[in-house]
A and B are shown apart, each in its own frame.
Chain A
Amino acid sequence: DQQVKQNSPSLSVQEGRISILNCDYTNSMFDYFLWYKKYPAEGPTFLISISSIKDKNEDGRFTVFLNKSAKHLSLHIVPSQPGDSAVYFCAAEKGGGNKLTFGTGTQLKVEL
């Protein structure tokens, strides 16, 4: 039962343009959402998070939007840079437990 889904396995964007990565979840008990960036054979690097009481959080080039009614969140990267090329995972947590449920990841490629 995949409670967190990233339906796009890959995304290709031109340098300078906006990258939009999407994530859907099914468990309405999730109350905290995070995005991580990962390179092969390395640990995930935290990017940005959002609490379920908010609908937007911004940090530099990264913005996360949360639509609770649709159980959908998205990560916007503006402008995209070649160094952003990596696999992006969304993750969700519920009720105070340090137990993250991860999506399957989206491979982002930023082309020159």
Chain B
Amino acid sequence: KAGVTQTPRYLIKTRGQQVTLSCSPISGHRSVSWYQQTPGQGLQFLFEYFSETQRNKGNFPGRFSGRQFSNSRSEMNVSTLELGDSALYLCASSLGGTSGQETQYFGPGTRLLVL
């Protein structure tokens, strides 16, 4: 079974621009979560999507948004990029049950550099 895939792997943008990152979950997984990793803040939860609806949200500004499609693929958008948005953005998928205690499997990440 193929793992979680993310595109693109690397991206360079300038301040003020916007960016869209894509994630394809493991086949059969319906939950997709996004995380940001930076040297200063570590790994932080952005949001989770299930059945095309945002189910959980972290403490990030509204410039960070996402969506999920009917095939469970997800996109994440960051508008008005700031230098501090430079990070590794990770997508994780899981089956998506409501009882929790599910393992999330991560993709390789998208490295975003904002100049």
Report if A and B associate in a common complex.
yes
Residue count of chain B within 8 Å CB distance of chain A: 32
A-B pair number, CB within 8 angstroms: 75
**B interface footprint on A38-82 (CB within 8 Å = 1, 0 otherwise):** 000111111001010000000000000000000000000000000
List, sorted by A's number, 16 A–B pairs whose CB atoms are closer than 8 Å.
A32-B101, A43-B4, A43-B109, A44-B106, A46-B103, A46-B105, A46-B106, A93-B100, A94-B100, A97-B100, A98-B33, A98-B102, A100-B33, A100-B45, A102-B42, A102-B44
Does B109 contact A95, Cβ atoms closer than 8 Å? no
Q: Is the CB of A42 within 8 A of B109?
A: yes
Chain B residues at the A interface, C-beta cutoff of 8 Å: 4, 6, 31, 33, 35, 42-45, 48, 50, 55-56, 58, 88, 90, 92, 94, 96, 98-109, 111
Docked CA distance A89–B45 (Å):
14
Q: A41-B88, A102-B43 are in contact. Are A31 and B100 (CB under 8 A)?
A: yes
